[in-house]
Amino acid sequence: MRQIIIGLLFAFLWASAAVATKYGIHSADPFILANIRFLLAGGAMLFYTYAIKREALPKGKEWLHLLIFGLMNTTIYLGCFVLSMKSVSAGIGSLSTATSPLFIMMISAVWLKRPLRWYEICGVILGLTGVALATYPLLQDSHATLKGVLILMGGMVSVSVATVYYARVKWTLPNIAINAWQVFLGGFLLLPVTCFTGNFSDSHFDLQFWLAIGWLAIPVSIIALQLWFYLVRKDAVKASLWLFLCPVFGFMLSSLLLHEPLSWYTLAGTLLVIGGLYLAQREKFAGGA
């Protein structure tokens, strides 16, 4: 029962990121929103890790690993995500997160130089078809643009590469320290982009902005990620099942809070993504049962 509650809470919080981002970018430039979020969340976790938990600092090559991981997992992925929210619905943003395991599977196959199995290829085709189907009507009524979808997918490729890279590194640091450093360093690497391209003159640091920052920094960047690490430690295969719920919660929240349209395309696309995700990983699920 405890793992079910934790899994549901993770899926809800993770899906809520797109809606909170939508609210935040109504007040400020996307990169300004992202940078403040990363530095606040990373700084808070670093304070907890070293001032309270008294963990050891990274050593030697660990700094390079953290820098690379932070660049791909935070700077590029979440930078693309927040930028895409200017021209893509929050529901599609949540749906995209469920495609990450499909990209991870393909990148792992290339990395390990193994051929993809037929059901993995079919799963990827189903998943990408589902995203296209759910996005199609939104392209017609200005709730999404092709450019925004491509930026979003570019971010998903980056986070998938980051996940494979993370799995290949022999970490000695605790998860809280890895998460703290990758978020903080990711924000630091994004600073030059924000300083040179951010629209400061039209940004308003009002209550809506700070509420969005607070939600993205604490429930999403800190709590949701720690819940994910907990689920993965318990059972990595079963943990990935909770990603199935992210699009469901995402479309529910975007419809209720942002009044984004839902249609049969939305339902069919979501089912295709979930079906593709399950089919592509059926061997894992069968082995973990």
| Full domain range(s) for residue 146 | 2-288
Q: Which of 189-193, 218-222, 275-279 has the lowest mean pLDDT?
A: 275-279
Number of structural domains, the chain?
1
Position with higher pLDDT, 285 vs 154 = 154
pTM of the complete model: 0.83
Instruction: Please give the distance of CA 165 from its chain centroid, rounded to a whole number.
Output: 16
144 beta partners: 88
- Residues composing the chain: 289
pLDDT at 48 over 80: yes
Distance, CA of 115 to CA of 242 (rounded, Å): 27
Distance, CA of 99 to CA of 161 (rounded, Å): 13
Distance, CA of 129 to CA of 127 (rounded, Å): 5
pLDDT score for 192: 95
Average pLDDT over residues 60-85: 94
Q: Which of 245, 243, 251, 240 is nearest to 287 (CA)?
A: 240
Structure tokens that stand for 68 in this block: 């690379």
pLDDT score for 141: 67
Yes or no: say if 263 and 137 are a contact pair by the CB < 8 Å rule: yes
DSSP states along 208-261 = HHHHHHHHIIIIIIIIIHHHHHHHHHH-HHHHHHGGGHHHHHHHHHHHHHH---
pLDDT in tens, 132-164: 887 777 776 666 788 888 999 899 899 888 888
Average pLDDT over residues 98-111: 78
pLDDT at 18 over 80: yes
pLDDT in tens, 207-246: 999 999 999 999 998 898 888 878 877 765 567 667 777 8
pLDDT at 286 over 70: no
Average pLDDT over residues 122-129: 81
